[in-house]
Amino acid sequence: MAVFILKRLIQSVFVMLAVAFLAFSLFSFVGDPISQMTGVETSLEDQARLREELGLNDPFIVQFARFTGDMLQGNFGYSYRTREPIGAMLLDRLPATLELGTVALIISLIAGIPAGIYTALNPRGVLSQSMLIATLIGVSIPTFVIGILLIFLFGVQLGWLPTFGRSGTVEIGWWRSSLFTVDGWRSLVLPGLTLGLFQLTLTMRLVRAQMMEVMRTDHIRFAIARGIPWRSIRYRHALSNTMIPVITVIGLQFGGVIAFSIVTESVFQWPGMGLLFLESIRFVDIPVMSVYLVVIAFFFVVINLLVDLLYLLIDPRLRVREAA
Amino acid sequence: MLAKIRESEALWLFRRSPAAMLAALIAVVIITAAVLAPWIAPTNPYDLSSFSLIDGLLPPVWQDGGDPRFLLGTDDQGRDMLSSILYGARLSLAIAGMAMAVALVLGVGLGLAAGYFGGRFDAIVMRIADIQLALPAILTALLIDGISRGILPRELHDDLRLGVITLAIALSLWVNFARTARASVFVERSKDYVQAAIMMGQHPLRIMLRHILPNILGPLLVIATVDLASAILLEATLSFLGVGLPADSPSLGTLIRIGMQYLLSGEWWILWIPTIFLVVLVVSINLLGDFLRDLFNPGLR
């Protein structure tokens, strides 16, 4: 088991190195940092001196090592656009995105898992059929249209909720949270729903497929043959086997949440990392783009690692296999 | 003979599925109308002389104040909404269709080659595919767009806009094709007829295209349909985010982005008609995809 964990850790380090390399190539090959940082009035000698000072004349591998070292120390460099340190910029935006993503994920799981189980157990029911049609329409409606619809309905027509921005924030250390005030929650509802609804359809479809698969396996048939009550078969035997892949789903959904948070944040002008990334693309702010990439990859790797460890905890079969 | 049976079965199932028939009808009508836009649209929205500010913000005909010249109303510039939508859909479909075709050729090519030759080539292709699968399509497309902005000078980038967007979408959709193609090579390669073809010294390219490819035409058709819908959504999203097509050649996504400015006003048609059009188009294509998937996977029926 320790070997397994160690192996996964080493793999994760390699993935991060590969992403850092990609980010660094972006950084060094796309656009010339000197011409981005200096104006027309900077003399050629000054430019050359700056180039030397920044170490841009060093061999590629030395520059990459320095880049990686800087990243590890949390030194992410400066934005071309705002001249601010990128680390501080991202840290400032991080809580908004994390809170939005978490709320969306919780919405998708709380509604998606029961819906998936229900549709798997009653495949021919009217409710199931209409839920399935709803998910098909759900995946066909782009996230930004869902956002516009919700804004129109709850913001404009009913006037219940704010339609953009993030208000009612409370600062806890550097973490600016909107979870502690009514205002904060009110501004979180619409973006959270927008981001959550798309994930919900995915969760539901996956849980449904998994549950249907489990219901066809031998041990469930055997349980039926033994005359074990339906209730017990469904919610003890089948459900526990369905839940294992659902953990993977959470891991997989993280990528989707991050990507669609870019869209959601744009629709609601939610001041998170996605909006920052979008701005950095519009202004060709390469350092911010590449750091964003590294940070996202880091989250991704950590979550996948946690998912693997959770598997070990939950599924006894894996522990036995690893021990053997 | 076998193909004939399958075809007739498909037709029979198709006739029995009202959802599939309706979806096919809507998709065909919209696609035909979009392709024929220059001939059937009342005006040309790109031609500045064809509209005037006097006609600005007219509601659709069925509402008070509507003008029979403009079936679906006009925008603030006095452009006919119906024409804008038809031209926009034409652009959206052209980009999505091209992107899907590029993804298909690239994905199937790489997948067949990876499965056939195996070894290191296979490992590299599939590792890239794994990474891409973890990255959602929107993120990939945004990154490609961002990088192209950095590499290309501004004017050139604006000229190549269409190509960049198409490529960005294609590169985020090829993985499904590649995995399907590769999986089918693994299944077929050990079968006698493929072994016989190899023994006869046929060219690998011929084996892949003539013997292995026909086995996956069904699944490929399903993926192509679903991916066409994804490509339309991707293009609309990119344009909505303002990194897609510029406002002077509006696709459906751009029209919706422009319409967002009218969300709080009474001019609902500028936002909602293109939005409804987009959603109906994508829903019908996805419904068709679902029908095809059921058709080629009898086990799920």
Tokens of B240: 């909505």
- Tell me the per-residue pLDDT of B173-229, one tens digit each, with 9 for 90 and over: 898 899 888 888 888 888 888 888 888 888 888 888 888 888 888 888 888 998 899
pLDDT of residue B239: 87
User: Which residues of chain A does B294 touch, with a Cβ-Cβ cutoff of 8 Å?
Assistant: none
pLDDT of residue B1: 47
Helix axes A286-314, A316-323, angle to 10 degrees: 90
Substitution target in A30, A132, A145 with the highest count of B β-carbons within 10 Å is A145
- Tell me the per-residue pLDDT of B152-169, one tens digit each, with 9 for 90 and over: 777 777 777 888 888 888
In a domain, B176, yes or no: yes
Contact flag A281-B149 (C-beta cutoff 8 Å): yes
Expressed as residue numbers, the domain containing B121 is 73-300
Residue that has been written with the tokens 């430019």 in this structure? A47
> If you count residue pairs, one on A and one on B, with CB atoms under 8 Å apart, how many are there?
95
pLDDT of residue B103: 94
User: Which residues of chain A does B237 touch, with a Cβ-Cβ cutoff of 8 Å?
Assistant: 142-144, 263
Residues in A 78-117 with any Cβ partner in B closer than 8 A? none
Using CB atoms, pick whichever of B135, B263, B286 lies closest to residue A156: B263
Contact flag B139-A136 (C-beta cutoff 8 Å): no
How far apart are alpha carbons A253 and A277 in whole angstroms?
19
Among residues of chain B, what percentage have pLDDT more than 70? 88
Query: Chain B residue closest to A297 (CA)?
Result: B135
How far apart are alpha carbons A190 and A210 in whole angstroms?
30
Residue that has been written with the tokens 């994760």 in this structure? A12
The partner residues of A177 in beta bridges, in order of sequence, read A170
Residues of chain B that touch chain A, judged by Cβ-Cβ distance less than 8 Å: 134-139, 142-143, 145-147, 149-151, 229, 233, 236-237, 240-243, 256, 260, 263-264, 271, 275, 278-279, 282-283, 286-287, 290
Query: Chain B residue closest to A209 (CA)?
Result: B300
Quote the minimal CA–CA distance from A286 to chain B in Å: 8
In a domain, B55, yes or no: no
The architecture that CATH gives domain A94-271 is Orthogonal Bundle (1.10)
Quote the minimal CA–CA distance from B268 to chain A in Å: 10
Average pLDDT over residues B126-144: 80
- Tell me the per-residue pLDDT of A279-307, one tens digit each, with 9 for 90 and over: 888 887 888 888 888 888 888 888 878 87
Substitution target in B233, B255, B276 with the highest count of A β-carbons within 10 Å is B233
Query: Chain A residue closest to B282 (CA)?
Result: A140
Contact flag B237-A293 (C-beta cutoff 8 Å): no
CATH number at residue B243: 1.10.3720.10
- Domains in chain B, number: 1
Residue B23 neighbours by CB distance under 10 Å: 21
- Tell me the per-residue pLDDT of B38-73, one tens digit each, with 9 for 90 and over: 887 777 777 767 677 676 666 776 777 767 776 677
How far apart are alpha carbons A201 and A215 in whole angstroms?
21
pLDDT band, very low/low/confident/very high, at B104 (cuts 50, 70, 90)? very high
- Residues near B166 by beta carbon (within 8 Å), at least 6 away in sequence: B95, B98, B99, B102
pLDDT, mean of each 10-residue run, chain A (324 residues):
80 83 77 66 76 74 82 79 82 87 89 87 84 81 86 81 75 76 79 87 84 81 82 77 74 76 88 88 83 85 81 70 52
pLDDT of residue B267: 76
Quote the minimal CA–CA distance from B280 to chain A in Å: 9
Query: Chain A residue closest to B132 (CA)?
Result: A255
In a domain, B65, yes or no: no
pLDDT band, very low/low/confident/very high, at B300 (cuts 50, 70, 90)? very low
User: Which residues of chain B does A296 touch, with a Cβ-Cβ cutoff of 8 Å?
Assistant: 139
**A250-280 exposure pattern, b = at least 16 Cβ within 10 A, e = fewer:** bbbbbbbbbbbbbbbbbbbebbbbbbbbbeb
User: Which residues of chain A does B146 touch, with a Cβ-Cβ cutoff of 8 Å?
Assistant: 280-281, 284, 289
CA–chain centroid gap for A247, Å, is: 14
One DSSP character per residue, B22-79 reads HHHHHHHHHHHHHHTHHHHSSS-TT-GGG--GGGTTPPPTTSTT--TT-TT-B-TT--
**Domain regions of chain A by residue span:** 2-72, 94-271
Quote the minimal CA–CA distance from A232 to chain B in Å: 26
Contact flag B147-A30 (C-beta cutoff 8 Å): yes
* DSSP H helices in B190-267: 192-199, 204-206, 217-241, 252-259
- Tell me the per-residue pLDDT of B3-24, one tens digit each, with 9 for 90 and over: 555 666 677 777 777 777 888 8
